[in-house]
Amino acid sequence: PFFVHVTYTCPHYPLHAKPADIAKYRGKFLDGWEAMRQRRWRRQQDIGLATSHWRLTETDSAAYAWETADRDFEDQRMAVYAAMIDCMDQNIGRLLQTLQATGHDRDTLVLFFSDNGGCSEEPGGRDPQQRRPGPVDDYVAVGPSWGWAQNAPFKRYKSWLHEGGITTPMIAWWPDHIPANRWTRQPAHIIDVMPTLVELAGTEYPTTYNGQEILPVEGTSMLPILRGERREPPQQLAWFWSGNRAVRQGDWKLVWDKRVRRWELYDLAADRCESRDLAEEDDSRVQRMSADWFAWAQSVGLKTRD
């Protein structure tokens, strides 16, 4: 077996793309981030991605008013962002064509996913007199308004541990083993990738390296999910990033937002988009799950201030 790990920089900032790719998307974002978010939401409903219990979340507090924006500049930011994805897609196509040319396209598992939700960061600011997205000599990002809109219908964005920050789609392609055009809503995590590949390779994860004991791999194989079977869901998933915290147990998710400095509780089975905070209604669950989060933090050597 062979293994290839391809990590594209795009569509991470800085926004750099080829002029020909940018030209395809100029003018497509002149109606603004709220309109784009609504379009994506309608599309998600049309194709069956969003189910009846999903609700489009409210406008993020960090998003600008479209009426105050330099519309040409904002359109160019998203046009470059889209061009970066377009170019990446072209080159993924080249990889798949190579698999086909070498006769490995039917029996090779290809996984495609991103590491976080849309980004709200804005290095370099948004002054069109000083910034111009696209050329390699500039350094600009899409900013909080587009970053929020990209994550429709979820709340928040990269660095936050609400669904907009951590929920990303994954595409699995394995023609001789996976039926085409099938959705699954079973949760999985990046920690499941290694166990999946180890099982596929017919081997076992090592317990030592260069004579030193190593930590056991976390996560479980995703092969049951890929084959259309039900996998036993993880008992717990926990996160920490830049002061934000979260823990998920089954369909219950507890989130600490560093901006408001309190726990929020959501039932993802009934409220996938985290629109109704149940923390005040179920304080006992908040206490149990927060204690579990701190126990996890200690187990992985994470030092917290409170």
Residue 125 confidence (pLDDT): 82
Contact 139, 77 (CB under 8 A): no
Confidence of residue 10 (pLDDT cuts 50, 70, 90): confident
The distance of Cα 62 from the centroid of its chain, to the nearest Å, equals 19
Residue 128 confidence (pLDDT): 83
Residue 267 confidence (pLDDT): 98
User: Percent of the chain scored above 90 by pLDDT?
Assistant: 85
Tell me the pLDDT tens digit for each residue of 223-248: 999 999 999 988 999 999 999 999 99
Residue spans per domain, the chain:
19-172, 233-306
Confidence of residue 52 (pLDDT cuts 50, 70, 90): confident
The CATH topology of domain 233-306 is Arylsulfatase, C-terminal domain (3.30.1120)
Using only the alpha carbons of the chain, give its radius of gyration. Answer: 21
Lowest mean pLDDT among 68-77, 87-96, 131-140: 131-140
Residue 127 confidence (pLDDT): 84
Mean pLDDT, rounded, for 206-222: 94
| pLDDT for 281 beyond 70 | yes
Q: What pairs with residue 267 in β-bridges?
A: 252
Confidence of residue 286 (pLDDT cuts 50, 70, 90): very high
Confidence of residue 306 (pLDDT cuts 50, 70, 90): low
Task: State residue 256 phi and psi, 5-degree precision.
Answer: -105, 120
- What integer best gives the mean pLDDT of the chain? 94
Cis amide leading into 153 (omega within 30): yes
Tell me the pLDDT tens digit for each residue of 94-136: 999 999 999 999 999 999 999 899 999 998 788 888 888 899 9
Q: What tokens does 178 get?
A: 């996976």
Tell me the pLDDT tens digit for each residue of 256-272: 999 889 999 999 999 99
- Distance (Å, whole) CA 148 – CA 272: 17
| pLDDT for 305 beyond 80 | no
